[in-house]
Structures are given as C-alpha cells and as structure tokens.
C-alpha cells in the first residue's frame, strides 16, 4: 500500500502526464515512496481523542474539520467539532444557522454516532474563564476593566489562547469520544502553537510584574537603578499611552492574578494536552507553493515539539481521466483541428443548436453508426450545413483539447509542488482530496469530502 510514490488508488493519470511533461519532475518522483494517510483507522481508534486541523489560511481547514467530524460520527463515535471562523455556508451545511459557543447537535447524521458542532466565541470563552475563577464581585470588576475588554475582544493571540482554552474545557468534560479542532485563520500555521504561549508569557512577564508591583522593588537593595529605569519607563509609557491605560493594566493584572493563577501556567497546561497521547495533528494544505511551505514549517515544528503528526491532508488536488494524453499532444491535435476548420463556425454552431435530432441523440450516443458519417442533421439541410456543423464540432473538440492541456499543466504543477514537499518530508503520510468544482452546502457535500479523504484519490476523475 505504500510502495507507490503516489497514493495507490490515484489513477495513473497524473503520473503519466507528469512523465510526459518534464523529465526533472520524473526523477523527483523517485526520491522515495510516499506513505498514504489512512483516515478511517485514525478516526475509528478509540484512543484518538483529539484531532487538530492546522494549516495556513484558505486551504479548506474548516471544511476538512467538519468533514472529518461527520465521518467519525457516522462511523459510530460521539464527536464535537470546534470551528473557529466558519463560513456561513459551512455552518448551514451542518444544519445550524448560527454556531455559537455551546456545542449543538447536528441533525440527520447517519448511524449510531453523534455530531455536535460549535464555534469559538473568544470573548465569551474568556468571560467564562473569569466568571468560573472569581467571585461575582471580582469577576464584575475584571469584566468591566477597559484593558480586559480590549484584551478579550481582539488581542493578538487571544483567539489562539481561547481556542486552546476551549479545547481544554471540552476535553475536561469528557463527554465526547473525539474532539475535532479547527485552528484560527492566520497567515502562519505556527501561530496556533505560539500565540497562546506568547500571550501567556506576556501577561505573566517580568515587565508586567514590575509594572504592577513597583513598590516591592524599591525596598530591595541593588534594585535602585532598575527602579529609576522603571519609573522613567512607566512615565514614558504613561505619556505615550495616556496614563489611564497603564492603570487599567495594573488593576487588571492584580485582579486576575489573585483569582486566576498564571496565564502562562494555564497556557502550558493546554499545550501539554497537545503532546498527550490521543492527540493527532493533521496538517491541511492545498497543492500550492505557499500553503505547502507553511505545511513544511509546521511539520518540522511538530516534530521538534514531540507533537504527534498523523499526516498531511492535501486538498483541491486535480486529476484527469485522460492522463495518457499529454498537454503537448493535446495542443498539437487542437491545432490540427484549427487548421482544418475553414467553415464559418458560428453558423455551424447555430445549425447544430437548432436541430431537434441532435438534441434527442445526446442520450443515445453509442448506438448509432450514422453519427460516424456526420453529426449534423440531415433533414432537408444542404451539404453546407453539414460542413459548418462539422466545423463547430471541430472547434468544440479543439476547445476540449485545450481544456485538457490546461488540466495537464495544472496537474504537473501540483505534482511538482507536492513532490517538493515529499522530498523534504518523506516520512509524512499524505492523503489527496480531489478538487470540487463548487462549495459545500449540505451534509451530503461534507460526506462526499469525507469519502474522498478516505479513498485518498481524485475520485472526481473516475
């Protein structure tokens, strides 16, 4: 199953096309076998408790997460999907008009399993954390603090921090067999790992401690110089930010500290959850240079952090059922037809369109011998009409061949990009998901994507 450089079930098409395309590419293919990522065993394994979908923006991460969740549920598991920023259509595809911060059961899921879906509301999650850890009065004080308000609404890293927080909460409730997490949309996939820690250490950081407790410092010997620096600094920052902000920060940190414990500790705890057995990372990408470069960074990072990578989901991969016909041959053939086409093509098309016979014959294409003579209608039409219809067919055929050449070029390009990744990371199991012509609108669409993922090949070309 892993002996072939391309997933075993991929039609021969892309391979052959590529071979006819570029030689260097062909040699790149021999670098080593790519492992095929088998989705179903991963989803079925009762030991798999968390699946994290990560990757750069615009690669179909959220859709992948939803499709995985649905598939796992329909294979009998009790699943919750935590999405971060789903498109309206995707939420609707799960039958939920507006996802919110509470898991909602998705209807019409086949089988014995359950699918729940929710969307992270970072402000709400943050508020809940505060409310859970402080008495009412203190919570009210924190919640109304202006610095807290801007922090919870849109601080760099808050979304990632709260995604982790929510994941920790869901896991702690232990109500689900499997949690599928989508990660916040960001340029860099690494943000998901780095932002919570960054925010945690910032809030727990030396500076913020100093700012909040300058009085203590003054008492200590040897700290005088620093203290002078501090007051200069708080002075400067105060001037710069308008003074009030600094006070807000101080009040906030003091209030949070006594009730909440360290931010950093908390971030570390969820971080550990990601390293725990039972967590699997799926890196999602599209066969494009930037997306795969991000994917490669992420793969390296996961390895460095001892985080378990299940594999790479490569979305939007194209295939062709006519892979044996190279782009070059297709284009040459199209030119042959162009050269032959001497009749007025517009008239030809019109002649074709207006014929009731051809309309009717479209459903019974294989049975007619007459069609080999001429596709054009014969009824009372002069030979010229037939010839012009031939011209239209010729033009259409040329168009189809150019379309095919375009597809083969795309295939070759996707294959090259993929090979570059595979060459660097031959150890990473890959599953290719065939491109869909349109967006997903319903559970059937998500199910289709799940099938494509499980079957690993561009099924659209079959």
Partner 1 sequence: MSRLQVVSGKGGTGKTTVAAALALALATEGKRALLVEVEGRQGIAQLFETEALPYEERKIAVAPGGGEVYALAIDPELALLDYLQMFYKLGGAGRALKKLGAIDFATTVAPGLRDVLLTGKACEAVRRKDKTGRFAYDYVVMDAPPTGRIARFLNVNDEVAGLAKIGPIHNQAQAVMRVLKSKETAVHLVTLLEEMPVQETADGIAELRAAKLPVGRVMVNMVRPALLDEADLELVRSIPRTALAKSLSTAGLGGARRGGGADRLVDPLLEQAGEYAERYALEREQRSVLTGLGLPLHELPLLAEGMDLAGLYELATELRQQGIS
Q: Which of residues 323-352 bind partner 1 (CB under 8 A)?
A: 325, 329, 332-334, 336-337, 340, 346, 349, 352
Interaction between residue 387 and partner 1 (CB under 8 A): no
Interaction between residue 322 and partner 1 (CB under 8 A): yes
Cα-based torsion angle of the residue sequence 440, 445, 447, 449 in order, rounded to the nearest 10 degrees? -60
Of 188, 134, 184, 130, nearest to 158 (Cα)? 184
Interaction between residue 383 and partner 1 (CB under 8 A): no
CB of 273 to partner 1, least distance (A): 25
Three-state DSSP state, 287: coil
Interface residue with partner 1, options 10, 183, 320, 388 (CB under 8 A): 320
Kindly list the distances between the CA atom of residue 315 and the CA atoms of 58, 136, 312, in Å, as whole numbers in the listed order: 11, 47, 9
Interaction between residue 104 and partner 1 (CB under 8 A): no
CB of 103 to partner 1, least distance (A): 24
Interaction between residue 249 and partner 1 (CB under 8 A): yes
67: which 2 tokens? 């499709």
Report how far residue 70's alpha carbon sits from residue 83's, in angstroms, rounded to the nearest whole number: 13
Nearest to partner 1 of 169, 188 (CB atom)? 188
CB of 160 to partner 1, least distance (A): 14
Nearest to partner 1 of 185, 278 (CB atom)? 185
Interaction between residue 361 and partner 1 (CB under 8 A): yes
Nearest to partner 1 of 172, 366 (CB atom)? 366
Three-state DSSP state, 312: strand
Half-sphere exposure of 264 (CA within 13 A, CB side): 9
CB of 43 to partner 1, least distance (A): 26
What phi, psi does 179 have (nearest 5°)?
Answer: -115, 125
> Going along 157-304, which residue ranges are E strands?
178-182, 279-285
DSSP code string of 159-200: HHHHHHHHHHHHHHHT--SEEEEE----S-TTHHHHHHHHHH
Residues 198-227 touching partner 1, rule: CB under 8 A, are 202, 205-208
- Strands 114-119 and 104-105 come out as antiparallel
Whether residue 132 contacts residue 261, with contact meaning beta carbons closer than 8 Å, is answered with no
**How many residues in the shown chain lie near partner 1 by CB under 8 A?**
88
CB of 404 to partner 1, least distance (A): 6
Neighbours of 191 (CB within 10 A): 20
Interface residue with partner 1, options 27, 102, 244, 265 (CB under 8 A): 244
Interaction between residue 366 and partner 1 (CB under 8 A): yes
Interface residue with partner 1, options 105, 173, 289, 444 (CB under 8 A): 289
Binding piece for partner 1, criterion CB under 8 A, among 35-43, 68-76, 87-95, 264-272? 87-95
Interface residue with partner 1, options 149, 169, 251, 259 (CB under 8 A): 149
Q: Give me the 46-75 binding string for partner 1, x by CB under 8 A, dash otherwise.
A: ----------xxxx----------------
Nearest to partner 1 of 41, 356 (CB atom)? 356
Residues 419-438 touching partner 1, rule: CB under 8 A, are 437-438
Report how far residue 431's alpha carbon sits from residue 173's, in angstroms, rounded to the nearest whole number: 32
Residues 170-189 touching partner 1, rule: CB under 8 A, are 185, 187-188
Of 27, 7, 4, 26, nearest to 16 (Cα)? 26
């Amino acid at each position: 199953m892993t002996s072939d450089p391309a997933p075993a079930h991929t039609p021969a098409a892309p391979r052959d096309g590529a071979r006819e395309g570029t030689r260097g590419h062909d040699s790149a293919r021999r670098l080593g076998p790519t492992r095929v990522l088998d989705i179903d065993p991963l989803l079925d394994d009762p030991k798999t408790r968390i699946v994290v979908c990560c990757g750069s923006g615009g690669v179909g991460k959220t859709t992948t997460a939803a499709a995985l969740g649905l598939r796992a549920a329909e294979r009998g598991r009790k699943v919750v999907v935590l999405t971060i920023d789903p498109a309206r259509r995707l939420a609707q595809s799960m039958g939920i008009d507006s996802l919110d911060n509470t898991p909602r059961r998705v209807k019409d899921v086949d089988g014995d399993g359950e699918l729940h879906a929710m969307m992270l509301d970072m402000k709400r999650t943050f508020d809940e954390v505060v409310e859970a850890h402080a008495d009412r009065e203190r919570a009210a004080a924190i919640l109304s603090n202006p610095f807290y308000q801007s922090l919870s609404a849109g601080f760099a890293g808050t979304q990632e921090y709260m995604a982790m927080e929510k994941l920790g909460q869901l896991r702690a409730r232990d109500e689900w067999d499997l949690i599928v997490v989508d990660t916040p949309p960001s340029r860099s996939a690494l943000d998901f790992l780095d932002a919570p820690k960054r925010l945690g250490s910032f809030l727990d950081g030396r500076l913020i401690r100093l700012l909040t407790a300058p009085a203590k410092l003054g008492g200590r010997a040897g700290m005088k110089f620093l203290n002078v620096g501090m007051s200069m600094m708080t002075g400067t920052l105060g001037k710069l930010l308008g003074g009030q902000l600094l006070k807000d920060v101080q009040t906030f940190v003091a209030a949070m500290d006594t009730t909440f414990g360290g931010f950093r500790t908390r971030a570390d705890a969820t971080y550990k959850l990601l390293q725990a057995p039972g967590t699997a990372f799926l890196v999602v990408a599209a066969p494009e240079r930037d997306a795969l470069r991000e994917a490669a960074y992420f793969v390296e990072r996961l390895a460095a952090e001892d985080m378990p990578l299940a594999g790479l989901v490569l979305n939007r991969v194209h295939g062709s059922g006519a892979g044996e016909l190279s782009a070059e041959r297709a284009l040459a053939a199209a030119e042959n037809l162009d050269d032959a086409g001497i009749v007025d093509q517009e008239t030809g098309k019109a002649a074709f369109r207006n014929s009731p016979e051809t309309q009717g014959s479209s459903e019974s294409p294989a049975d007619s011998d007459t069609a080999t003579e001429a596709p054009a209608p014969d009824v009372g039409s002069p030979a010229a009409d037939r010839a012009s219809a031939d011209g239209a067919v010729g033009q259409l055929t040329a168009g189809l061949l150019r379309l095919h050449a375009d597809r083969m070029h795309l295939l070759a390009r996707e294959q090259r990009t993929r090979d570059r990744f595979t060459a660097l990371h031959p150890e990473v199991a890959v599953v290719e998901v065939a491109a869909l012509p349109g967006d997903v609108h319903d559970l059937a669409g998500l199910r289709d994507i799940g099938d494509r993922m499980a079957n690993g090949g561009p099924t659209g070309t079959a």
